[in-house]
Amino acid sequence: MEKTVTKYIEKVKIFNHYTNYKGRLFVKTLCDLFNDVAEKQTEEYGVDVETLNAKGLTWMLHRLHISLHKMPHKEEEVYIETWPSGVDRLFALRDYRMVRENGEELVRATSEWMYIDMSRRRPLRLPEHVVAMSTGHRIEKLRLPSILDEKEDGGEVTGQREFSATFDNIDFNGHVTQASYMRWITNSLPFEFLKKHILVEVEVIYAHEIMPDSFIRSEYCMSESEGVVTILHQVKNEAGNLNHCIAKTVWESSSVTACTNI
């Protein structure tokens, strides 16, 4: 008899090197922590990356959406929860929450994952046991309305920066880790902007892999309305004719939102 899926919960300390110069958790590190706890739970059910890789299979992230109410500071201890939260066509869904010990929700996130044939780099239909673990429980799915249209036009480019895919950016699938995309998205923005604004929401759709030693451009188009800054991002190849991902970030002035950060 298969065991019923429950939330996987792990206590995490926010070490100094997890944080920026303001002492608040990096969003890139938040993504790394999400990956760590998800890996722990998938190991329990035999669908972790190492097990799948031995069969020529793997997981690839298609979409990640994060709502950041507050970001923890260095030396804080928080809890990260994760669970498989459903199935949508070829996508296995997974949700995350970061909470304080008193139950206060700091962060919530939803994600979509594809089950990939590594040799063909093509998605496969989800196997029955993955569908069962994703749907055979009563844990409520997190609701997070999308802010990003997959076909959204980037508009006129406000600014950009170039990055290269070095050894430290490469993950278990031999391509750039999704957390590195997040770093390139936020680090494309001017330092003075980042000093004065707080990231409150981000959604990313991953389209094409970035391979080792590639050069990329992280472009953005910025708009502001009633004190809220919305930025559409595109991470492109060196030639500028291929989108590796698109993203949308929402920012508030740090003078208004005092307890959150990028």
Give the tokens for residue 158.
């406000």
Please state, in angstroms and as integers, the Cα–Cα distance from residue 103 to each residue in 6, 14, 40, 192, 248, following that order: 18, 17, 22, 34, 28
Stretch (H or E) spanning 178: helix 178-187
| pLDDT range class, residue 21, cuts 50, 70, 90 | confident
Give the tokens for residue 31.
């993504």
| CA gap 78, 110 in Å, rounded | 19
| CA gap 144, 155 in Å, rounded | 25
Tens digit of each residue's pLDDT (9 = 90 or more) over 202-247: 999 999 989 999 999 999 999 999 889 999 999 999 999 999 999 9
The reported pLDDT for the residue numbered 171 is 83
Spell out the domains of the chain, with CATH numbers in brackets. 7-144 (3.10.129.10), 146-262 (3.10.129.10)
| CA gap 75, 12 in Å, rounded | 10
Q: What is the pTM of this model?
A: 0.93
The pLDDT mean for the chain works out to 92
| pLDDT range class, residue 55, cuts 50, 70, 90 | very high
Tens digit of each residue's pLDDT (9 = 90 or more) over 68-100: 999 999 999 999 999 999 999 999 999 999 999
Is the pLDDT reported for residue 259 higher than 80? no
